[in-house]
A and B are shown apart, each in its own frame.
Chain A
Amino acid sequence: MQPGVVFAQDYQYMCSEAGQNIIKDAIKTHGLTGVVVCSCSPRMHEATFRKAAAQAGLNPFMVEIANIREHCSWIHKDKEEGTEKACVLMRAAVAKVTLNAPLKAGESKVVKRALVIGGGIAGIQTALDIADAGFPVDIVEKNATIGGRMAQLDKTFPTLDCSSCILTPKMVEAKANENIRLITYAEVEEVSGFVGSFKAKIRKKARFVKEDVCTGCGVCMSKCPSKKGLNEFNMGLNNRSAIYIPFAQAIPNVAVIDKEQCIKLKTGKCGLCQKVCTAGAIDYTQQDEFIEEEYGAIVMATGFRPIDASKFDEYSYSTCKDVVTSLELERIMNAAGPTGGVLLRPSDGKHPHSIVFIQCVGSRDVSGRGKPYCSKICCMYTAKHAMLIRDKYPDVEVHVFYIDVRTPGKNFDEFYRRAAEQYDVDYIKGQVGKVYEENGQLVVRGVDLISNEQIVLNADMVVLATAIEPDPTARKVANMLTASIDTNDFITEAHPKLRPVESPTAGIFLSGVCQGPKDIPETVSQAGAAASKVIGLLAKDKLTTNPCVAHSDELLCNGCSCCEKVCPYSAISYETKLINDHGVKETRRVAMVNEALCQGCGACTVVCPSGAMDLKGFSNKQIMAEVDAICL
C-alpha cells in the first residue's frame, strides 16, 4: 500500500448511495484524514464525494479524485498498461491529498439592493424585473430624465410601432414601482467593496428646481427669456429655454435649469421662473447632493451615442445643413420633434424630393477614423427610415448606399425586402466618395460596385447612418467597478458565450448596448437576463466563496506589487502592518488577497518573485507532489 494509506476498498458504483456509505463508514471507523476516490472525472462527481465526506465529519476539501475512467480505462485498450497508469494516477492523488489542508468556504453578506447605472431601456427593464422580484433597486441616470436613446426614436423596426408608445408606459412603471428609486441628473462617483456588499457614492447634480415640489406644468419654460440653448433631445435641431423639461413624457416630469445658460445663475439678474412658478419649486441656491448607499449587485447599462459625423469630411456633415445623421432624422420624423413630424429639410424647411442614405458611416472602418465593428442596427433602421418616408411621401425618391445589407433576426430580412421590393427603395451596393454642394444643390458621388459604374445623384437631403459607440463615460464607470472593457470601450462579458451578461468581476452585470451594439429586442432580453442574474444573487442570504483562493505568506512577501498587476479581478491590495519575522518586529507593506474577489486562477502565484503567493487547493507543494508521483 501507498505510504499514508490505511484503508482501501473497491466497489463498482462508488457514486451510488451505497458507495458513498462505504466512504462515510471508512472515514468514521478509520478516523481518515483524507480520501482518494479512483473513479470518473472530478468534473462529474467531485461535489458528490466532497459532500459525503462532509457528512462523515471530514473537511470536504480533504477529498481528491483520481480520474481513472475518462483519462484511463476508456481510452487504453491494453489492460496491463491501463492498470499501471491507474496506479500512477492513484499515487499522484494520494501524494496530493496528504498535503491537502482543510479549507473552509468563506461567507460574505449580501446587501439586498441593486444599483443600475444608466436609465435607458436596458436599465429600466433590468430595474423593473429586479423590483418585480421584490428587491429594491436604484437607477442612477446622468440625464434629467430616464428613457435613453429609445425615447428619441420615432418608430421602431421591425414592427414599426411608435417608440414612445411602448417606452413611456415602462418609464411610468419605473417611477411608480415602490421598489425602484430613480436618481436622475446624477452620476456614480465612487464604488468600493465587492460582490454582495458594494458601497457607492452618488452625486446628484443641482437642478435648481425642487424635485418633490415641481408639478411639471411648464409655465417657467414659456416665460424664460434665455431661449438659445441647444435642444439635446432634438439633437440640437432646435432650441430650448434655460429652464426646461427634456420632453413632454420625461420621467421625472420635473424642470431643470441649465446653469451655463441661466441668466440668474450667471449674472444674478432675471429670476423670472421663480416669480411665475406657483408651486414655489425654483431654488437658485440648490447644491449638488451626495447619496451613499450599499448594494449587493451593480448593473452597468450606460448605452451609447452616435459617433461624431464631422470626422468624415467627405460627407460634408459640418458644412451642409441638409446632411443629417439618422438619429437627427428620427427627431425630424417624430411628431414631437422640431418639425412636428413633417419631413422638411433643415436648411430651408422645404419638402425634399430626393433623399440619399449612406450606411456604415464610421462602421466597419479599419482606417482608424471610425470603428472596426459593425454597428448592427443601421441596416435595419435605414430600411425603416426609407420605408417610412416612401410610405408617407410616395413622391420622394430614396436611394441607399450600402456595403452589405445585414439583416439577421426574426422578421428582419423580410422587413428589408419589403423596403426594397414593396416600397421601391433604390438599394445601391457601393460606397460614396463625396457629398458636396454645387449651386445650392447637394450632389452625391459614388460607385455602384455591381455595375462598376460611377454614380452621381442630386439629393435634397443626405442621411448618414453613423456608427454607434459606447457612452463616453463607459471607461470611467468600468474602471470604478473594476469591470473589464475592450479596446472599443464596450464592457467585456465574463464569457462571450456562456456568461454574456456578467462581467468577469463578480457582482457586476451588463445590460444593453454598453456590452455591444444591439437593437431594442436584444437589449430587452439581455436586460431581463441581467436582472435574473441579479435576482439569483440577491436571493441568497450569504455568499459562499470558493475556498481555493490565493494566499500570500507575509513573511516572504516583499510588497513588490507584481501580483496585483496580473490579477484580473483586482483581488490583491496591500497593507502596511507590523510583522513579527522570527522575533524581529518590522513594519512592512505586504500583499493581501480579498477572498471574496479572488477567483483562484493562480496567475499571481507564478508572478511572485519571492515565492510568497500560493494557491489553496492547488499549492506548489501539492502540484509538485503529483509531478513526483508521475515521474517516479
Chain B
Amino acid sequence: MSVNADWKPRIVAFCCNWCSYAGADLAGSSRLAYPADVKIIREPCSCRVNPMFILKAFERGADGVILCGCHPGDCHYSTGNYYTRRRMALLFSMLDYIGVERGRTRVEWVSAAEGAKFSRVMNDFVAQIRELGENVKVGDLRCKE
C-alpha cells in the first residue's frame, strides 16, 4: 500500500467513441457512480490507441490505464478491436517485462448499452489500483547512470 496518505490514483481510460464512450455517457445519465480518479479520453476506435500512449502514460505518472472498446465483432470499423486485442496482448507481456504490474492495465469491451457494466468495471479497476498502490514512474533509462 501507498505510504503517501494523500495519494489518489491517476487513471486514464481510453474509450472508443462508438461503444465505450457512449457506455460511459449512459453510466452518467443513469447516475451509476464510480470514483472520480478515472478520466476518460475519447478515441475514434480502440485501435487508435497506440501501445506507446499507454507506456507514455505510465511514464508520465499514471497509476492505471484502461482501454475500452466495442465487443469483438461489434466494432464500428468492423475489425478495429481485433487489432486492439492482439496489440494489447503483446503490450501486456512487455509491461510485465519492464516491471509494471499486470493489474495496472486492462482491456474491457463495453457496449453503448452497458452503462452498468462501465460503472462496475471502473469501480473494480479503481479498487484494484488502490490495492496496488502508487505506481513507480516508468522512467526512460537512456543516458542515465
Tell me the bound Cα distance from A185 to B57 in angstroms: 60
Interface segment, A64-72, A114-122, A243-251, A355-363?
A: A64-72
Residue of A70, A92, A495, A568 near B39 (CB, 8 A) is: A92
- Give the residue name and chain of the B residue nearest to A88 (CB): B39
Residue of B28, B40, B45, B119 near A603 (CB, 8 A) is: B45
Q: Which of A615, A618, A631 has most B Cβ within 10 Å?
A: A631
A107 within 8 A of B: no
Contact, CB under 8 Å: A627 / B40: no
List A149-203 residues whose CB lies under 8 Å from chain B.
none
Contact, CB under 8 Å: B25 / A601: no
| List of A residues within 8 angstroms of B53 by Cβ | 620, 623-624, 627
List A61-106 residues whose CB lies under 8 Å from chain B.
67, 69-72, 74-78, 81-82, 84-85, 88-89, 92
Interface residues on B, range: 35 or more
Contact, CB under 8 Å: B51 / A606: yes
Tell me the bound Cα distance from A606 to B56 in angstroms: 14
Residue of B22, B29, B44 near A600 (CB, 8 A) is: B44
A42 within 8 A of B: yes
Contact, CB under 8 Å: A601 / B10: no
| List of B residues within 8 angstroms of A495 by Cβ | 74, 76
A253 within 8 A of B: no
- Give the residue name and chain of the B residue nearest to A615 (CB): B48
B24 within 8 A of A: yes
Contact, CB under 8 Å: B50 / A599: no
| List of A residues within 8 angstroms of B31 by Cβ | 74-75
- Give the residue name and chain of the B residue nearest to A73 (CB): B28
- B61 CB to closest chain A CB (Å) equals 5
Residue of B12, B25, B28 near A627 (CB, 8 A) is: B12
- A103 CB to closest chain B CB (Å) equals 14
B32 within 8 A of A: yes
| List of A residues within 8 angstroms of B25 by Cβ | 41, 43, 67, 70-71
List A36-77 residues whose CB lies under 8 Å from chain B.
41-43, 67, 69-72, 74-77
Residue of A42, A568, A627 near B62 (CB, 8 A) is: A627
Tell me the bound Cα distance from A426 to B95 in angstroms: 64
Using A603-B80, A627-B12, A627-B53 as known contacts, say yes or no to A71 and B24 having CB atoms under 8 A apart. Answer: yes
List A587-623 residues whose CB lies under 8 Å from chain B.
599-603, 605-607, 615, 618, 620, 623
Contact, CB under 8 Å: A606 / B36: no
Contact, CB under 8 Å: B77 / A630: no
A277 within 8 A of B: no
Residue of A67, A70, A504 near B78 (CB, 8 A) is: A504
Tell me the bound Cα distance from A72 to B33 in angstroms: 9
| List of A residues within 8 angstroms of B51 by Cβ | 606
Contact, CB under 8 Å: A631 / B33: no
Contact, CB under 8 Å: A601 / B80: yes
Residue of B33, B40, B77 near A599 (CB, 8 A) is: B77
Tell me the bound Cα distance from A484 to B40 in angstroms: 32
Tell me the bound Cα distance from A69 to B31 in angstroms: 10
As a 0/1 sequence over residues 465 to 495 of chain A, the CB contacts with chain B under 8 angstroms (1 = contact) are 0000000000000000000100000001011
List B44-89 residues whose CB lies under 8 Å from chain A.
44-45, 47-51, 53, 56-57, 60-62, 74, 76-80, 83, 87
A232 within 8 A of B: no
Contact, CB under 8 Å: A603 / B50: no
- B95 CB to closest chain A CB (Å) equals 16
A626 within 8 A of B: yes
| List of A residues within 8 angstroms of B125 by Cβ | none
- A94 CB to closest chain B CB (Å) equals 14
Contact, CB under 8 Å: A627 / B77: no
Interface residues on A, range: 35 or more
| List of B residues within 8 angstroms of A72 by Cβ | 28, 36
B100 within 8 A of A: no
Residue of B24, B34, B45, B62 near A602 (CB, 8 A) is: B45
- B15 CB to closest chain A CB (Å) equals 9
| List of B residues within 8 angstroms of A70 by Cβ | 24-25, 27-29
Q: Which of A72, A84, A602 has most B Cβ within 10 Å?
A: A602
Contact, CB under 8 Å: A606 / B49: yes
Contact, CB under 8 Å: A568 / B79: yes
B42 within 8 A of A: yes
Contact, CB under 8 Å: B57 / A627: yes
A548 within 8 A of B: yes
| List of B residues within 8 angstroms of A377 by Cβ | none
Q: Which of B22, B34, B39, B50 has most A Cβ within 10 Å?
A: B39
Contact, CB under 8 Å: A603 / B57: no
Tell me the bound Cα distance from A482 to B57 in angstroms: 37
Contact, CB under 8 Å: A631 / B10: yes
Contact, CB under 8 Å: A606 / B33: no
A566 within 8 A of B: yes
B21 within 8 A of A: yes
A395 within 8 A of B: no
Tell me the bound Cα distance from A393 to B117 in angstroms: 59
A628 within 8 A of B: yes
| List of B residues within 8 angstroms of A484 by Cβ | 78
| List of A residues within 8 angstroms of B43 by Cβ | 602, 618, 623
- Give the residue name and chain of the B residue nearest to A484 (CB): B78
Using A606-B50, A631-B62 as known contacts, say yes or no to A71 and B77 having CB atoms under 8 A apart. Answer: no
| List of B residues within 8 angstroms of A607 by Cβ | 83
- A605 CB to closest chain B CB (Å) equals 7
- Give the residue name and chain of the B residue nearest to A78 (CB): B36
Tell me the bound Cα distance from A258 to B60 in angstroms: 73
| List of B residues within 8 angstroms of A74 by Cβ | 28-29, 31
Contact, CB under 8 Å: A602 / B28: no
Residue of B41, B42, B74 near A42 (CB, 8 A) is: B42
Contact, CB under 8 Å: A77 / B33: yes
Contact, CB under 8 Å: B44 / A618: yes
| List of A residues within 8 angstroms of B29 by Cβ | 70, 74
Contact, CB under 8 Å: B78 / A568: yes
Q: Which of A78, A92, A603, A615 has most B Cβ within 10 Å?
A: A603
* Given A601-B47, A618-B44, 10 extra CB contacts under 8 A: A41-B25, A43-B25, A67-B42, A78-B36, A495-B74, A568-B79, A603-B47, A605-B48, A627-B60, A630-B10
Instruction: Across the A-B interface, give the 3 residue pairs with the lowest CB-CB distance, nearest first.
Output: A70-B28, A602-B48, A601-B77
Q: List 27 A-B contacts (CB under 8 A).
A: A43-B17, A43-B22, A67-B25, A67-B42, A70-B28, A71-B40, A75-B33, A75-B119, A76-B33, A484-B78, A494-B78, A495-B74, A495-B76, A566-B79, A602-B80, A603-B47, A603-B77, A603-B80, A606-B48, A606-B50, A606-B51, A618-B48, A623-B43, A624-B56, A627-B53, A631-B62, A632-B61
